[in-house]
Amino acid sequence: MFIIDFEASSLRKNSHPIEVAWGCRPDADAIESYLLNPDCMAGWTDWNPKSFEFHGITLEQLRQHGHDPRKVAEKMVSDLAGQSVYSDEPHFDIRWKNRLLADSGYDPSLVKILDLNTWLARMARTPSANQSVNDLVCTFECSENSRHRAAADVFWLLEFVNHVRQNC
């Protein structure tokens, strides 16, 4: 099971991904994380300064430290095509995954994103489960201070999935 997360330029229709991370275990060395340089892609001009308040990423950071999105898309397809890939916000993450892959020349259907919330609910309904998903969240002790960066979100979600597996 892989977890994926995106951060984006805004929530508008013409938004594009600015950061992506994915991983399959809660180990910082096992999580792939990339800032995406919008200057490398035609049409990636959307930017809402208010988004900075959510993810803390500046346009200047993307330009200085961002990777060519086409190279990131190539790595994503190599790592995730045919794998079970989950997101806690699939509506948004599918949209930004599709934009990244399509704009990079890949068929977006190569990487399928599933709903992590559905998986968690299924786990909580197993005969051995003695807690609801809400109870599991409440008992899972972690800090969310650094969330809303893709790698931190993936790390937290992978730790939570392990917690659910151990307690269901």
For 49-62, what is each residue's pLDDT tens digit?
A: 888 888 999 999 99
Write the burial class of residue 157 (CB in 10 Å: 0-12 exposed, 13-18 middle, 19+ buried): buried
Tokens at 66, concatenated? 């961002």
For the chain, the average pLDDT equals 88
How far is Cα 56 from Cα 6, in angstroms, rounded to an integer? 13
Q: Which DSSP state fits 66?
A: P
pLDDT of residue 143: 46
64-119 tens-digit pLDDT: 999 999 999 999 999 999 999 999 999 999 999 999 999 999 999 999 999 998 99
Could you tell me which residue, 145 or 105, shows the higher pLDDT?
A: 105
d(CA 10, CA 14): 8
The domain spans of the chain are 2-167
Write down the architecture of domain 2-167 according to CATH. Answer: 2-Layer Sandwich (3.30)
pLDDT for position 42: 95
CA distances (Å), 21 to each of 88, 92, 113, 137, in order?
13, 14, 13, 22
Residue 142 predicted with pLDDT over 80: no
CA 85 – CA 88 distance, rounded (Å)? 11
